[in-house]
């Protein structure tokens, strides 16, 4: 018997037939007993619940008659139903199992994480027939609260997956206006829909309503969300799911899915363990399909690539000294699970990374699949066994019927499933042959094959059945199919039909299609892949055929050629499509490098380097370049180019002390090779990556030579790139005319070429020129254009820089709140994508805002952490700027002696740099320190002398700024005006 109380009362037999419960009082009696399931309810209590203050004249007798009616109804529905209602000393009891009431089923599904399934059980209000009765109130209120909480949890999951839920939210919020979690989801949904103003108004409405009706304030989580919306926190943005798309329904794993979800709800690390082919990956996918999960496929990853693979899956740059720490910082801002699939060959590096992430990210949960445990404390293991006989038969029948029509021979199906030990992969492979062999022949061949392979040597016991299954499937293939399958195994992750044909040397369209029909090749969108076990088996067959070396080299050659074909497309219209295509081939590029000849390795890294640079994968690029350079020591043009890329990639690393020497050695190689175009490209790239850190005059000489060569050889892209870099270098020379002249020429060329990266690059110097001249509308327009380009290209470091740039304009125009919001957003993006330069730029901006507002301790906190880092990377201009800021902070606190010392250090640094604007800033700082000292000096002569010195310093600074054509605009005169006023006070 099954009872439904989540809506009007419904009773069904075990067969699902409805049971009519006559009379309103009998239904009330049953509902009362259901509320107290498996607990006695006294007769007095039942009488009071059923009739209240107007009981019948013979209340006990009438109650007994209603109990009899209920027992009779239950008996008619199911034999033995009468015994469900018992009577004892404590009263009447309804003795039924927990799982035969839909409210208990709802709570079970909810606990397992099956939120949508749990909500589908509801047909109306709980205990709808007695909604006004007191005896159901506590139970009904608890269930309704759980229902609302479940709706909120499901909405949260859907929002994280990017679903549109605003319409549903509006109705729910209207009914429950004071539920804070519901309101939080609404705020996030509005923000993600680009309706920030509505989100802020919704928060204000809730805050007012809470104050008016409850005399309370919003909770801390809602307050934090409000602050995150104000600062445009990137963690609020919905991310599309990285989960693979299942190829078909999961059969026979309902209990395992429920168990896995229960474990994940109560444990932070769950590992699914079991033999290959047992279905761990598919079970994991079903377990997390309703979660906002980051899926990381590790089958094609080597021991040194685990952190890179995780970083790529969560959209994180890997250019940092401690990638695990950067991963932890990024994951702290994100919800959901981290799923690491196929870890058995990487147990140690995976275990170490998981240990660190779980320690550093308190809310993180991790699900892994592996053939052996990770061995970490707190790890919960879930054994994934072969399917039970009924589930195995159901799976085999479903797959065989799909391939060959109706399959109706339970005895033969059971025999096949038994001989295949219920291994899902084996069942899938066998089912594909039913159409060609029939069940009886299939069973006979299967029997022969297993007898042949029984007791194989050197193979773990758990793998013998799977090996036998794949051996048998292999034997049924034609010779061309076998050849194609073993040659496909050299690919990593997935591959295109073109790659399959080029590498294998066989007609891929027909053969791959036939292998898909046999479930040995799996479609993956418009690409294909091999199941892990099939790939491993096929690689053994490739080795047996003596083809491994040949086809590893062919694979490497194909992906080298692909990278070389892609490289020029990354500089013209269509670069976004080619970036996406190379994203798909990342695993194949890494595999190609591992098996490439020295010559192919150099060609590959030279072709892929620009892709790595655009995608911000500088760590991967440096490692790949080092590998290729170690393979070949012969001086060639290819080696020279690789050395240049390596030196340029190192320019953004945290240790750049040997940068100049490495760059000069690289450039010298091109002179020996008589390659003027190669040298010009090298000069440009090294200058572009070093302009903020390197020796200014040397860089200027390099870029001038490159521009001359590009002009002579009519290389328009090279000329555009070099002009944009010379415009950036003009920033360090305080040459606004040069910034504008070269920046505009570069932008014009890049627009003609259709290179969006180039437009982004050329815009930078024009933005700076507009800002320092006080043309804030132009600077803002160019920043917004650049920000849009960066977002469309997925260049998140540039997104951070441009967002912070907009924050600088907000600071200079006096909009401090917006300035803080933009700089905070820029800082968060920089941290998530692991770029220290962008992080420094954003946080220094926060320090400037704090100082402008008089929050000197906050300003010092934001700025202090970056001084050592700038010294480490050789950021002399940044050091001079920070020394000036520390001097101003000291002066504003009244410590003019300390301020004088700091500004003198800044002046020495700026003078060595030769940057007139930095020198002027230091002189202004010294003037401020002298003016502050004059105000403190009690002697008339002393104050007069100091104020005079301050005025002279201020005049020198202004003259210097005018001499280079960049007088301070109104937005940057905060300190100068403040110091001038101090000088006037001291003179008075």
Backbone φ, ψ for residue 332 (5° rounding): -65, -25
pLDDT value at position 463? 39
Yes or no: say if 264 and 113 are a contact pair by the CB < 8 Å rule. yes
Structure tokens at 943: 């104050």
HEC string of 22-77? CCHHHHHHHHHHHHCCCCCECHHHHHHHHHCCCCCCCHHHHHHHHHHHHHHHHHHH
CA angle, residues 697, 703, 783, in degrees to nearest 5? 100
Name the band, by pLDDT with cuts 50, 70 and 90, for residue 662: low
| pLDDT tens per residue across span 397-424 | 998 888 788 788 899 999 888 877 788 8
pLDDT value at position 660? 65
883: alpha, beta or left? (left if phi > 0; alpha if psi -120 to 50): alpha
Q: Which of 230-244, 607-621, 714-728, 823-837 has the lowest mean pLDDT?
A: 230-244
Average pLDDT over residues 253-276: 89
Average pLDDT over residues 917-938: 89
Higher pLDDT, 566 or 242: 566
Angle in degrees, 0-180, between the axes of helices 220-230 and 196-214, rounded to the nearest 10: 150
Yes or no: say if 331 and 310 are a contact pair by the CB < 8 Å rule. no
CATH code for residues 253-383 = 3.40.50.300
pLDDT value at position 653? 42
Higher pLDDT, 195 or 465: 195
Structure tokens at 914: 């030769």
Q: Which of 10-14, 350-354, 704-708 has the lowest mean pLDDT?
A: 10-14
pLDDT value at position 736? 87
Residue 292 confidence (pLDDT) above 50: yes
Q: For the residues of 937-954, what is the DSSP string, one character each?
A: --SHHHHHHHHHHHHHHH
Unique residue bearing structure tokens 């013998």: 464
Angle in degrees, 0-180, between the axes of helices 916-936 and 876-893, rounded to the nearest 10: 20
How many angstroms separate the CA atoms of 662 and 659, rounded?
5
| pLDDT tens per residue across span 94-105 | 999 888 999 999
pLDDT value at position 600? 95
Q: List all residues 6 or more positions away from 691 whose beta carbon is below 8 Å from its beta carbon.
A: 699, 725, 728, 729, 732
Higher pLDDT, 507 or 225: 507
Residue 658 confidence (pLDDT) above 80: no
pLDDT value at position 117? 87
pLDDT value at position 454? 35
pLDDT value at position 333? 56
Residue 745 confidence (pLDDT) above 60: yes
Q: Which of 640, 761, 739, 651 is nearest to 695 (CA)?
A: 651
How many angstroms separate the CA atoms of 28 and 129, rounded?
8
Residue 824 confidence (pLDDT) above 60: yes
How many angstroms separate the CA atoms of 119 and 802, rounded?
45
Residue 153 confidence (pLDDT) above 70: yes
pLDDT value at position 734? 77
Average pLDDT over residues 656-664: 62
| Per-chain mean pLDDT for the chain | 87
Q: Which of 578, 795, 606, 744 is nearest to 682 (CA)?
A: 606
Q: Domain 875-987: which CATH class?
A: mainly alpha
How many angstroms separate the CA atoms of 195 and 294, rounded?
27
How many angstroms separate the CA atoms of 312 and 308, rounded?
6
Yes or no: say if 341 and 296 are a contact pair by the CB < 8 Å rule. yes
SS3 514: helix
pLDDT value at position 236? 64
Average pLDDT over residues 815-844: 91
CA angle, residues 41, 44, 50, in degrees to nearest 5? 85
Cα 913 versus chain centre, distance: 40
The fraction of the chain above a pLDDT of 90, given in percent, is: 48
pLDDT value at position 241? 55
Name the band, by pLDDT with cuts 50, 70 and 90, for residue 624: very high
pLDDT value at position 362? 84
Report strand pairing: 380-383 vs 521-524: unpaired
pLDDT value at position 541? 92
Burial of 55 (0-12, 13-18, 19+ CB in 10 A): middle
Most confident of 53-67, 157-171, 527-541, 547-561: 547-561
Average pLDDT over residues 698-712: 93
Residue 356 confidence (pLDDT) above 50: yes
Higher pLDDT, 363 or 811: 811
| pLDDT tens per residue across span 443-480 | 887 654 333 223 333 433 433 455 766 776 787 789 99
Average pLDDT over residues 608-627: 90
Name beta bridge partners: 336: none
Yes or no: say if 756 and 734 are a contact pair by the CB < 8 Å rule. no
Yes or no: say if 276 and 537 are a contact pair by the CB < 8 Å rule. no
How many angstroms separate the CA atoms of 680 and 707, rounded?
8
pLDDT value at position 451? 36
Structure tokens at 628: 């290729």
Q: Which of 145-149, 286-290, 495-499, 647-651 has the lowest mean pLDDT?
A: 647-651
| pLDDT tens per residue across span 858-913 | 999 999 989 988 887 777 888 999 999 999 999 999 898 999 999 999 999 999 88
Element (H, E) at 295: strand 294-297
- The DSSP output letter for 125 is S
pLDDT value at position 317? 60
Structure tokens at 587: 């695993």
Pick 2-143's CATH classification: 3.20.20.100, 3.40.50.300, 3.30.70.890, 1.10.10.10: 1.10.10.10
Report strand pairing: 380-383 vs 269-273: parallel
């Amino acid at each position: 018997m099954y009872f439904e109380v989540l809506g009007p009362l419904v009773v069904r037999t075990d067969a699902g037939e409805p049971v009519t419960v006559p009379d309103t009082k009998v239904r009330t009696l049953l509902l009362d007993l259901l509320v107290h399931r498996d607990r006695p309810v006294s007769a007095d209590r039942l009488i009071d619940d059923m009739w209240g203050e107007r009981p019948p004249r013979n209340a006990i007798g009438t109650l007994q008659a209603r109990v009899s009616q209920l027992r009779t109804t239950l008996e008619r529905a199911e034999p033995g139903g009468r015994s469900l209602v018992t009577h004892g000393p404590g009263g009447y009891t309804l003795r039924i199992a927990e799982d035969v009431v839909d409210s208990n089923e709802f709570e079970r599904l909810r606990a397992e994480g099956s939120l949508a399934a749990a909500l589908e059980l509801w047909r109306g209000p709980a205990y709808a027939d007695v909604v006004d009765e007191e005896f159901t109130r506590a139970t009904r209120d608890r269930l309704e609260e759980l229902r609302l909480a479940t709706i909120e949890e499901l909405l949260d999951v859907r929002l994280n997956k990017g679903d549109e839920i605003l319409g549903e939210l509006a109705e729910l919020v209207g009914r429950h206006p004071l539920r804070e979690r519901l309101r939080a989801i609404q705020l996030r949904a509005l923000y993600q829909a680009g309706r920030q103003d509505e989100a802020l108004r919704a928060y204000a409405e809730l805050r007012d309503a809470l104050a008016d009706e409850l005399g309370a304030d919003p909770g801390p989580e809602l307050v934090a969300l409000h602050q995150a919306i104000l600062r445009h926190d990137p963690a609020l943005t919905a991310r599309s799911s990285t989960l693979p798309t299942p190829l078909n329904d999961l059969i026979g794993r309902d209990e395992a899915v429920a168990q896995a979800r229960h474990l994940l709800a109560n444990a932070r690390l769950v590992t699914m363990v079991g033999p290959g082919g047992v279905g761990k990956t598919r079970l994991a996918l079903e377990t997390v399909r309703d979660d906002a999960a980051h899926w990381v496929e590790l089958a094609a990853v080597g021991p040194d690539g685990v952190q890179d693979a995780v970083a790529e899956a969560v959209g994180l740059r890997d250019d940092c000294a401690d990638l695990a720490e950067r991963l932890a910082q990024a994951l702290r801002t994100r919800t959901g699970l981290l799923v690491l699939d196929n870890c058995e060959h990487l147990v140690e590096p995976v275990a170490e990374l998981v240990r660190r992430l779980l320690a550093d990210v308190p809310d993180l949960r991790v699900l892994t699949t592996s053939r052996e445990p990770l061995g970490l404390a707190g790890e919960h293991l879930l054994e994934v066994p072969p399917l039970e006989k009924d589930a195995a038969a159901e799976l085999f029948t479903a797959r065989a019927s799909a391939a060959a029509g109706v399959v109706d021979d339970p005895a033969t199906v059971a025999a096949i499933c038994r001989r295949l030990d219920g291994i899902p992969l084996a069942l899938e492979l066998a089912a594909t042959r039913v159409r060609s062999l029939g069940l009886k022949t299939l069973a006979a061949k299967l029997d022969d094959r297993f007898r042949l392979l029984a007791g194989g040597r050197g193979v773990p016991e758990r793998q013998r059945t799977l090996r036998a299954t794949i051996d048998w499937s292999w034997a049924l293939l034609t010779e061309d199919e076998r050849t194609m399958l073993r040659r496909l195994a050299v690919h990593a992750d997935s591959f295109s039909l073109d790659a399959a044909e080029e590498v294998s040397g066989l007609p891929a369209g027909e053969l791959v299609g036939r292998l898909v029909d046999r479930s040995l090749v799996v479609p993956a969108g418009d690409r294909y892949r091999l199941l892990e076990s099939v790939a491993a088996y096929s690689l053994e067959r490739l080795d047996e055929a003596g083809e491994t070396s040949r086809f590893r080299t062919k694979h490497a050659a194909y992906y080298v050629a692909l990278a070389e074909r892609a490289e020029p497309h990354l500089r013209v219209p269509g670069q976004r499509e080619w970036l996406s295509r190379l994203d798909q081939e990342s695993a194949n590029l890494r595999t190609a490098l591992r098996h490439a000849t020295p010559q192919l390795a150099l060609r590959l890294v030279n072709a892929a380097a620009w892709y790595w640079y655009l995608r911000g994968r500088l760590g991967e690029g440096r490692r790949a370049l080092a590998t290729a350079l170690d393979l070949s020591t012969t001086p060639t043009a290819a080696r020279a180019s690789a050395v240049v890329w390596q030196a340029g990639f190192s320019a953004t690393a945290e240790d750049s002390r040997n940068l100049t020497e490495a760059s000069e050695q690289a450039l010298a190689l091109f002179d020996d090779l008589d390659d003027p175009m190669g040298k010009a490209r090298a000069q440009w790239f090294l200058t572009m990556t070093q302009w903020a850190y390197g020796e200014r005059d040397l860089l200027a000489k390099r870029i001038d030579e490159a521009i001359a060569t590009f002009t002579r050889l009519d290389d328009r892209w090279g000329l555009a790139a070099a002009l944009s870099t010379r415009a950036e270098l003009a920033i360090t020379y305080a040459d606004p005319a040069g910034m504008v002249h070269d920046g505009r020429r570069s932008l014009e060329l890049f627009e003609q070429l259709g290179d969006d990266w180039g437009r982004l690059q050329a815009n930078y110097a024009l933005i700076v020129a507009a800002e320092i001249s006080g043309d804030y509308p132009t600077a803002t327009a160019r920043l917004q254009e650049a920000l849009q380009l960066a977002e469309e290209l997925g260049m998140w470091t540039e997104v951070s820089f441009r967002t912070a740039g907009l924050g600088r304009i907000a600071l200079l125009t006096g909009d401090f709140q917006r300035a803080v919001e933009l700089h905070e957003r820029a800082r968060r993006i920089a941290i998530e994508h692991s770029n220290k330069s962008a992080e420094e730029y954003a946080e220094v901006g926060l320090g400037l805002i704090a100082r402008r507002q008089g929050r000197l301790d906050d300003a010092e906190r934001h700025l202090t952490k970056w001084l050592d880092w700038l010294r480490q990377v050789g950021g002399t201009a940044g050091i001079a700027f920070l020394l000036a800021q520390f001097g101003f902070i000291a002066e504003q606190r009244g410590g003019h002696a300390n301020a004088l010392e700091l500004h003198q250090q800044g002046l020495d640094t700026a003078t060595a740099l030769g940057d007139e604007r930095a020198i002027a800033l230091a002189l202004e700082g010294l003037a401020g320190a002298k003016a502050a000292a004059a105000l403190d000096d009690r002697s008339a002569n002393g104050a007069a002398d100091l104020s005079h010195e301050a005025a002279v310093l201020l005049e020198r600074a202004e003259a210097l700024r005018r001499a280079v054509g960049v007088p301070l605009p109104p937005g940057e005169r905060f300190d100068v005006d403040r110091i001038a006023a101090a000088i006037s006070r001291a003179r008075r």
